[in-house]
Amino acid sequence: MPHSKIHYPRIVLVAGLILIIVSLLVGVSVFMVMQRHAEGLFDKSLQLSLQSRMQLTEAEIRAGFGRTTVAATRPRLIDLVQRLNSDADDAAARTILNEVALSFLPTGLTAIAVFDKAGRELTRAGAFTQKSMLTVPLNLPGRVQLMWDGKLLLHAVLEFNQAGQVVGKVVTQTSLPSTTAALKDASRLGKSGEMVLCALFGPTMQCFPSTLNLNAMTIPRVASNGNLLPMAHALAGKTGFVSAQDYRRQEVEAAYAPVGDLGLGMVLKVDAADLYAPVWQQLRFVIPLLLGVLVIGLLSLRWLLTPLVLRLVRSEAKVSGLNAVLEKRVKKRTAQLEASNHDLQQFAFVASHDLKTPLRSISGFVQLLEQKYADKLDDSGLSLIHRTAKAARRLEQLTDDLLTYARVGAETKPLAEVNCNEVASDVADLLDASLKQSGAVLCFGELPRVMADRAQLTQLFLNLVSNAIKYCQGRTPVVKVSASKKDGQWLFSVADNGIGVESQYFGKIFEVFKRLHTQKEYPGTGIGLAVCRRVVERHGGAIWLESALDQGSTFYFTLPEIPAESAAS
């Protein structure tokens, strides 16, 4: 008994120590698991929030640029500028021009100014900002800049072009309220939450004002600890999440991403101290309670963890709610952009149809002029008549091509099963005269059946094969068309022995009006390959090419296989 009395306190002490150690280990383990879970939730929510804000910003900028593009391509506006180029005192034209400029303000522009080809201002509507705290260029056609004057503004300058000639320019400014609001308010992330928007400026970065920094600033790409700032990753075209030091030399948790291909970067961040402060505050209570109260240690541990779990659940619910709101906003913006694209397509239809009537009149008048007065005109006069007729025919062809391009995007006709061999036969018939004139050899392999719009598929093959025949200077054209199955799709190829294309132009030739040669070398409108890409994308495929200069080209495009149930029926 005395022996037991001697060792009993020791056993109690060891048991107590074991219980304390086990309680501490369990507490620390649970704390670490919950901390990692919290980090994972925060990482995911921060990146989702950043993606939503980035998409909203890009959509708002491109929508503003789209309004300027509509103004720069509006035929009536171009005609009025041409009239004032010819007669600066044409009061009627100037009055109409003022009315047209004012009509753009309700579309979202805050200011618009129109200039003639000599740089003289013809009209102005709305109020342009007089002073900008920060101005950065964007990767968009023309001269487009993002400005800050207490709010974000999109400043765009585009030229008026008529028959390949610059006849003036339009200058616009568009307010970007959604992006401005996001920059000024990141309070949902906490008091240190901040959204930053920057652009490269030589070896440094220029950043717009934000929640924590009310002035524009120029900062280096590298933090004081020698590591890249999160924004430097975004401006390098990367997307991700990082624990790093920011421009204030504070340790932060940051999500970063580029804003499309506009030349901007976006970072959404919060101070690490603010993120983990509530967790560490709870831990200060957990450890003393576990050490001081041995008997109720596990119960105390459970009691302390319950509020933390509840807080995490509420935080996750709050983040889900925020993501739902942001997703709703993105869907709303997407619907607005789709409506805007539909309006632009309707505009292209109307503009192209309205152009065709005067073009036919011009062609008819020129023919009558040649028939009646050919014997009374000298060679110079006849040359002018021929050149006029040729220009009218080219403009009519351009109008037809624009209509074709617009119809591809607007077409809602359901897809049906099409035999590509029959399409190939139709294309060969359509190109019969061209094949005989050039002596071209056109070879079609065995082609599959696909779900497609037959008219658009015919247009696709017709454009690719006719291009292969046309761009084959000084040699007999040989064109081979084939198809094979690859990764659940049909891979089509159109190969030729023509002049080839340099790799730097592989992407550009599929853009509207992008031409690599002059009209004299190879006539055309620069729309054919753009139509091809639009047709392929409408059918759920992709198009690209492989080529080398003077070694021919091979255009590839993919179309989905016919589903098994459709093929069986």
pLDDT tens string 190-210 = 777 888 999 999 899 999 998
Judge residue 461's burial from the number of C-beta atoms within 10 Å of its C-beta, 0-12 exposed, 13-18 middle, 19 or more buried.
Answer: buried
pLDDT of residue 391: 59
pLDDT of residue 416: 85
Mean pLDDT score of the chain: 78
Residue of 317, 315, 313, 301 lying closest to 31 (CA atoms): 301
Mean predicted confidence (pLDDT) in 444-452 = 91
Residue 276 pLDDT level (bands cut at 50, 70, 90) = low
Sorted by where each begins, the domain ranges of the chain are 1-344, 345-408, 412-568
Query: Quick count: other Cβ atoms within 10 Å of Cβ 362?
Result: 17
pLDDT of residue 540: 87
Query: Residue 421 and residue 429: Cα distance in Å, rounded?
Result: 13
- Work out the percent of the chain whose per-residue pLDDT is above 70: 67
213 vs 336, residue with greater confidence: 213
> Which residues lie below 8 Å from residue 518, measured CB to CB, with a gap of 6+?
none
Residue of 181, 174, 183 lying closest to 209 (CA atoms): 183
Pairing of strands 165-175, 152-162: antiparallel
Pairing of strands 478-486, 441-444: parallel
pLDDT of residue 480: 93
Condensed to tens digits (0 to 9), the pLDDT of residues 370-402 reads 667 667 667 676 677 666 665 556 555 555 555
522 vs 453, residue with greater confidence: 453
Residue 161 has pLDDT above 80, yes or no: yes
Backbone angles phi, psi at 499, to 5 degrees: -80, -15
> Which one of 13-17, 28-32, 253-257, 272-276 scores highest in mean pLDDT?
253-257
pLDDT of residue 402: 56
Residue 284 has pLDDT above 80, yes or no: no
Residue 342 has pLDDT above 80, yes or no: no
Residue of 191, 226, 194, 190 lying closest to 207 (CA atoms): 194
Residue 262 pLDDT level (bands cut at 50, 70, 90) = very high
Query: Residue 59 and residue 341: Cα distance in Å, rounded?
Result: 12
Query: Residue 405 and residue 411: Cα distance in Å, rounded?
Result: 10
Domain 412-568, CATH class in plain words: alpha beta
